Structure 1
Amino acid sequence: MNAYTLTFCDTTLRALPSGALWWPDQRLLCVSDLHLCKSDRVARRSGQMLPPYETRETLARLAADITACDPTTVICLGDSFDDLLAAETLSAEDAGSLTAMQAGRQWIWIEGNHDPGPVEFGGTHLAAYHCGPLVFRHIATAQPGEVSGHYHPKYAIPGAGSARPCFLFDRNRLILPAFGAYTGGLRATDPVLAALFDRPCAVLTGKRAIAVPVTPSTRPVPPGRLRGSRP
């Protein structure tokens, strides 16, 4: 899998190159920010037409991780759909793919800021999910052991190419990259993310998951940026 193994709050986790998180001891697979049907939501709200293939690509990547890991539990960590109406526009073929992935396993939908309520698919809908020392929620708070998403972190090794979606973690907090094909990202050194971590490490996604320390940004902090953001 070319994954990176990390120890977080006394658990052994694997950051997969795809951006999914695998917890072998629990046979638990976690993904964040799928943003399914984003092209539909953009067209509906702005009239801008994007190629409508991102949902199929995202679901295909998720299916590949499920096939490789064979989890008993899958957690979608919020913003699984680009909004609640977008969930209703999922094509019959894509809905069938999603239903097939859910069969025979526990499927947990965590509420996000884009999809703050239940959708018409099987599974359990929760604001947060606790498992052992970890708590899974969409947006990070101050609780140790948090696994969250929302910020779509990305990082570039200084002087070594363009930024990639990445995991960010320290002793108390782990933030997943966005899994969706049409999602942007917030640089790991942005003041909003820097305020959440104490000397974080980034795990870059791609063909191989690569761990690197995050070099602090030297840019000045813009007024008001520490109040948060809404990817």
Structure 2
Amino acid sequence: MRLDQSMNTHGFTFAGANLHALPSGALWWPAARLLVVSDLHLGKSERLARRGGALLPPYEAEETLTRLTTDIDRTQAREVICLGDSFDDRAAADALPRAHLDWIARLQAGRRWIWIEGNHDPGPVALAGAHQAEHVHRPLTFRHIATPDSAAGEVSGHYHPKCRLALRGGRAVTRACFLVDDRRLILPAYGAYTGGLQCDAPVLQDLMAPTARAILIGTPPRAVPMPQRKDRERATP
């Protein structure tokens, strides 16, 4: 099928697969009719309120599910993979209101749906779909957290990568981003109110090759060289 041209995607090749970064932070694989999202963190506002934390507007699930509905409608995906931390914790998954459960059920209807286990939502969840620690759809392997010794073709989430770019006039902009090199692809967080980790953080610098790119989400997504720490720049030939 053809993508809706209004989606303004960024196309790129990874491990031999032709993929598209969507403005929302979702990943689209047209040949497999596969849509991938990571770190929805549904129920985040409920969990924070339950634990006495900061009170957030209780609309993050509606915002996230609305965006996911739009991406599914535009791509007509026949398979969806949620790359872990789909719920902010197990109790948040159990506390989802009936309206949200019905919404998820409508999105799942007529398509294969895979929930990858995350560190926030390990183990089985009482929702339809397959529940897996990781999923292989060659040439890609989907898991929640990147592994340092992974083979080429690993797709993961977990770190909520963000990229800060300096602009003219001393201003700067920070955007959620995909990180991609020859071996691995890390997706941004898809959920609302999720925060993020700057891509010059040591853990991301250690995972990604010096030649990695950051694909900033937005309309349209924009690819730039992944910013490097100053000490790494000096050490890189």
TM-score, with structure 2 as normaliser: 0.90
Quote the Cα distance in structure 1 between the aligned partners of 2:55 and 2:174.
26
Counterpart contact for 2:27–2:37, Cα < 8 Å: yes
Answering whether residue 215 of structure 2 is matched by residue 209 of structure 1, we say no
Aligned alpha-carbon RMSD (Å): 1.2
Answering whether residue 128 of structure 2 is matched by residue 132 of structure 1, we say no
Counterpart contact for 2:43–2:92, Cα < 8 Å: yes
Quote the Cα distance in structure 1 between the aligned partners of 2:76 and 2:43.
25
Which of the residues 144, 148, 165 maps onto 2:156?
A: 148
Which residue of the partner structure matches residue 37 of structure 1? 43
Quote the Cα distance in structure 2 between the aligned partners of 1:91 and 1:57.
15
Kindly provide the CA deviation profile for residues 70-101 of structure 1, in whole angstroms up to 9, marking residues without a partner as x: 11110000000000110011111111111100
Q: Aligned residues, how many?
A: 220
Pairwise CA distance, 1:34: 0.2
Pairwise CA distance, 1:48: 3.2
Quote the Cα distance in structure 1 between the aligned partners of 2:219 and 2:96.
29
Pairwise CA distance, 1:219: 6.8
Unaligned ranges ≥5, structure 2? 1-6, 233-237
Counterpart residue identity of residue 116, structure 2: I
Pairwise CA distance, 1:64: 0.4
Unaligned ranges ≥5, structure 1? 221-231
Kindly provide the CA deviation profile for residues 8-60 of structure 1, in whole angstroms up to 9, marking residues without a partner as x: 00110000010000000000000000000000011111243221000110000
Secondary structure in 2 aligned to 1:74?
strand
Which residue of the partner structure matches residue 129 of structure 2? 123
Counterpart residue identity of residue 101, structure 1: L
Quote the Cα distance in structure 2 between the aligned partners of 1:187 and 1:5.
23
Answering whether residue 84 of structure 2 is matched by residue 73 of structure 1, we say no
Which residue of the partner structure matches residue 61 of structure 2? 55
Quote the Cα distance in structure 1 between the aligned partners of 2:199 and 2:56.
27
TM-score, with structure 1 as normaliser: 0.92
Quote the Cα distance in structure 2 between the aligned partners of 1:117 and 1:60.
26
Counterpart residue identity of residue 61, structure 1: R
Which of the residues 98, 102, 109 maps onto 2:104?
A: 98
Quote the Cα distance in structure 1 between the aligned partners of 2:72 and 2:227.
33
Counterpart residue identity of residue 41, structure 2: H
- The runs of at least 4 consecutive aligned structure 1 residues that moved more than 4 Å come to none
Quote the Cα distance in structure 2 between the aligned partners of 1:78 and 1:202.
21
Give identity over the alignment, percent.
Answer: 55
The 1:214–1:48 alpha-carbon spacing in structure 2 relative to 1, beyond 3 Å, is closer
Quote the Cα distance in structure 2 between the aligned partners of 1:158 and 1:129.
37
Quote the Cα distance in structure 1 between the aligned partners of 2:66 and 2:195.
19
